[in-house]
Copies of this chain bind each other. A is one copy, B any other.
């Protein structure tokens, strides 16, 4: 963590102020070739524009110039952790969000239900995107897996995605993926990155062998691919570092996972804005810090659907008055990373950010967008610096030195 040495020491733990951090996944974009305007510049965002005009604006860079982050590092940076040093395996992130029992020493992996043919070649890496309900039923079947000396917990995520947690002696997460990243070829054999991971490979191979038998008669999901092995992450906890009782509101399990990993309370909730807002309204009084995550904007960007991303941004904007009605002292609106629709992927572009409080300078940004926020006073800064700004605006950081 970048700031912890100082923040831990300087945090004003008796402060009564409340911080809302609204994270719009994949927020930043790029101009549409026809209009020359980005998704944010195209959307009609009266509420966010008003906050931007009255607040302090800037751009945040998750990993520094040119580096494109995954969701894990991007979120860790938002929460003030060094994203390069605090990496969490994707499997670990998933497991944290699934509500499975996952503890120090355990190793988790993501699972994709997939389709294999009789020769064992993968024909569909996502098994036709089976519905979440079907995924749950298949996970129930996999509870029959029995490996001596190892506890195995399987839980469904969204659609064809699931997670598995292994508990036992001598497990390690230095294992490559079995996902071949293509079709017409067999899954990759699991490879240990070092001798300390050999036992994990043996256990995972046994898991795969039993899974293949259990799912043999299923269709279209008759096998799983494993990817993103990760041990339980041991990160400094929010309450300890910042003195914040924190709630993570995220319908999508993986983001509950990263929130839980840094010590936030999490509650299972649907991933529409309405459900998340209802949870926010219900629990706001109990917390000093609320992280709220909006997933669908990122998915629209990854699908290359510029117009849908615009519509979703407008939907988020329409919920802003409900969020403000709880009167948080500090409102931070930002994204974990950019996902420009024209790129159909995460990108390195710095992310529009606003901070609104009684102590924010209305600094010239009139629009909450890439080019709007560039006119603000925060400049382009590392995402990991954002938490100390949020704490400062909440008057939760004491002065350093006399």
Are A30 and B361 touching (Cβ within 8 A)?
yes
The smallest beta-carbon distance between A140 and chain B, in angstroms, is 26
At the interface, is chain A mostly helix, strand, loop or mixed?
loop
**Chain A residues bordering chain B, tally (CB within 8 A):** 65
Are B66 and A397 touching (Cβ within 8 A)?
yes
Q: Given contacts A70-B399, A399-B70, is CB(A359)–CB(B343) below 8 Å?
A: yes
Q: A359 to B68, alpha carbons, bound, how many Å?
A: 13
Q: Given contacts A381-B65, A388-B65, A392-B348, is CB(A402)–CB(B361) below 8 Å?
A: no
Are B343 and A401 touching (Cβ within 8 A)?
no
Q: Of B10, B69, B377, which is within 8 A of A370 by CB?
A: B377
Are A377 and B377 touching (Cβ within 8 A)?
no
- A347 CB within 8 Å of chain B: yes
Are A374 and B363 touching (Cβ within 8 A)?
yes
Are B391 and A66 touching (Cβ within 8 A)?
yes
CB 8 Å contact bits of A324-368 with B (1 = contact, 0 = none): 000000000000000010110111111000000011011110000
Are A73 and B31 touching (Cβ within 8 A)?
no
Are B401 and A83 touching (Cβ within 8 A)?
yes
Are B65 and A400 touching (Cβ within 8 A)?
no
CB within 8 Å of B: which of A1-30?
6, 10, 30
Determine the chain B residues whose CB is within 8 A of the CB of A364 once the complex forms. Answer: 371, 374
Are A399 and B349 touching (Cβ within 8 A)?
no
Q: A201 to B89, alpha carbons, bound, how many Å?
A: 50
The smallest beta-carbon distance between A386 and chain B, in angstroms, is 8
Determine the chain B residues whose CB is within 8 A of the CB of A388 once the complex forms. Answer: 64-67
- A63 CB within 8 Å of chain B: yes
The smallest beta-carbon distance between A399 and chain B, in angstroms, is 5
- A228 CB within 8 Å of chain B: yes
Partner-B contacts on A (CB < 8 A): 6, 10, 30-31, 36, 38, 59, 63-74, 83-84, 87-90, 93, 228, 340, 342-343, 345-350, 358-359, 361-364, 370-371, 374, 377-381, 385-393, 397-402
In the complex, 29 of the A-B residue pairs with CB atoms within 8 angstroms, ordered by the A residue number, are A6-B67, A10-B67, A30-B361, A38-B361, A64-B388, A66-B385, A66-B391, A67-B392, A67-B400, A68-B392, A68-B399, A69-B399, A70-B401, A72-B401, A83-B400, A87-B401, A88-B401, A228-B402, A345-B399, A347-B359, A348-B389, A349-B359, A349-B361, A361-B370, A363-B374, A371-B377, A377-B380, A379-B379, A380-B381
